[in-house]
Amino acid sequence: MRHEPLSFEEAAEALDEVAAALPESVFAHLNGGVVLLPDAVPSPHGQGLQTLGAYHYDPRGLGRYITIHYGSFVAAYGHCPPAQQRAALKEVLHHELTHHVESLAGIRDLDYKDQLFLEQYKKPEKSPKKHNKKKENPGE
């Protein structure tokens, strides 16, 4: 069954609910906050991927902030039930906040995990190897 995407306002409310349930300390030094943008952002890695969210750190400008791309969510999850769309928003916000916390700690574990995911995603599927086994004939 195909569902309607959450409206921009519903997506913003869902993100606000997720953020309100988290400890304030997670948002320390996130001076630009979490911004829901209306755009769809195709992934620079191609292959039909969408950029659902991004963590930004600009030490000479806007500082630290997270963008969530509503249009990308609609493209990726707009056909899903509303609960699944909300769960996806929650997952992406948690993911980007993990980038933020790791950045503050000076570690990049999630960056490496993301890179590994992309490398695995880009690998062409290997066709199954053909086996040259002689068929067994039970009558022989």
Residue 26 lies in a domain: yes
Model confidence at 49: pLDDT above 50: yes
| Domain around 90 | 8-122
pLDDT-derived band at 125 (thresholds 50, 70, 90) equals low
Residue 135 lies in a domain: no
Structure tokens at 20: 């309100």
Residue 32 lies in a domain: yes
Model confidence at 64: pLDDT above 90: yes
Q: What is the CATH number of the domain that holds 105?
A: 3.30.2010.20
**Rounded to two decimals, what is the model's pTM?**
0.84
Q: Considering only CA atoms, which of 66, 81, 72, 73 is closest in space to residue 22?
A: 66
Which of 7-21, 69-83, 91-105, 116-130 is least confident? 116-130
Question: How many separate domains does the chain show?
Answer: 1
Residue 85 lies in a domain: yes
Percent of the chain surpassing pLDDT 90: 76
Helices (H), the chain: 8-20, 70-77, 82-105, 109-122
Question: Which tens digits make up the pLDDT trace of 6-48?
Answer: 999 999 999 999 999 999 999 999 999 999 999 999 988 877 8
Model confidence at 79: pLDDT above 80: yes
Residue 93 lies in a domain: yes
